[in-house]
């Protein structure tokens, strides 16, 4: 998987890039199985509230796990997959790339609630929003009916005011001009990259089947300082993926993660009885 110069140019101009079939059917099946395991074991929690930002909703569900890498060696391996590291490095320009955060959102059928409009940089506040990107993976087919991601292109340079989202126990939201909004429908295994300044949201799931997305956030080392890597990171390491200080994950996890993606996919598909 190599991104073309035109794809890189489109990302840097418009603030996003959709890439169909980024993960093959086998990789996608492994991600689906592992997220089903996490859901089955109760690791995803409902962050939807009844409009006051505190009271848990009894009618809507927006299930989240953040970070997810602590609970899944497969998810932990995704950023180290060569095609992921290569794509992110091409889009951001490198040279030193770090995994910032990962998280799962799962919207159950009929009751699944979307995430309101926001810009990631309202949370992260890096100096140059084009030097950070999300990689949002469609775990299941993402359609308008089940709440696919929507973005506003060419808006990444304009920070918007944000406020607390009353429908979530911790999210914030903004109110952009939605006249240019685009819903990005994606088949399972496809991804959309969007920079930290791009306004985006997801809709409600009005179908009978659940729909999940797995999101990773990456940034360039020049957007932060040493405290980013050392302060309050228990349970959420921030591994350096490229550059002179990258250790393949050993420095952050105590084990080498680079080179394990294919093995993790095979082990996940084989099932727990095949694991050592």
Write out pLDDT tens, residues 37-75: 999 999 999 999 999 999 999 999 999 999 999 999 999
CATH-assigned architecture of domain 5-274: Sandwich (2.60)
- Helices 82-92 and 5-14, packing angle to 10 deg: 60
pLDDT, one tens digit per residue, over 124-137 is 999 999 999 999 99
* Percent residues over pLDDT 70 in the chain: 97
Q: Which positions of the chain have pLDDT values less than 50? A: 274-276
pLDDT of residue 274: 44
What ranges do the domains of the chain cover? Answer: 5-274
- Is the distance from CB of 115 to CB of 202 less than 8 angstroms? yes
The alpha-helical segments, DSSP class H, found in the chain are 5-14, 25-40, 73-77, 82-92, 121-124, 227-230, 250-253, 261-270
Q: How far apart are CA 191 and CA 109, in angstroms?
A: 21
pLDDT of residue 276: 43
Q: How far apart are CA 80 and CA 258, in angstroms?
A: 5
pLDDT of residue 65: 97
């Amino acid at each position: 998987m190599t991104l073309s110069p035109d794809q890189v140019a489109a990302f840097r101009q418009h603030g996003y890039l959709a890439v169909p079939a980024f993960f093959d059917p086998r990789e996608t099946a492994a991600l689906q199985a592992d997220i089903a395991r996490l859901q089955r074991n109760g690791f995803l929690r409902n962050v939807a509230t009844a409009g006051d930002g505190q009271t848990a909703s009894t009618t809507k569900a927006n299930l989240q796990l953040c970070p997810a890498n602590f609970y899944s060696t497969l998810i932990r391996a995704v950023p180290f997959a060569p095609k992921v590291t290569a794509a992110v490095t091409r889009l951001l320009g490198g040279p030193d790339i770090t995994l910032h955060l990962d998280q799962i959102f799962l919207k159950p059928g009929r009751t699944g609630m979307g995430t309101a409009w926001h810009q990631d940089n309202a949370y992260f506040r890096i100096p140059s929003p084009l030097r950070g990107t999300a990689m949002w993976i469609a775990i299941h087919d993402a359609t308008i009916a089940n709440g696919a991601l929507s973005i506003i292109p060419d808006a990444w340079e304009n920070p918007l005011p944000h406020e607390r989202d009353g429908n979530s126990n911790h999210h914030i939201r903004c109110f952009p001009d939605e006249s240019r909004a685009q819903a990005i429908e994606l088949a399972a295994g496809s991804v959309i990259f969007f920079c930290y300044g791009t306004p985006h949201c997801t809709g409600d799931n009005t179908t009978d089947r659940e729909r999940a997305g797995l999101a990773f956030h990456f940034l360039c080392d020049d957007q932060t300082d040493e405290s980013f890597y050392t302060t309050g990171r228990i349970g959420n390491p921030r591994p350096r993926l490229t550059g002179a200080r990258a250790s393949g994950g050993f420095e952050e996890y105590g084990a080498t993660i680079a080179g394990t993606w294919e093995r993790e996919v095979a082990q996940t598909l084989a099932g727990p009885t095949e694991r050592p």
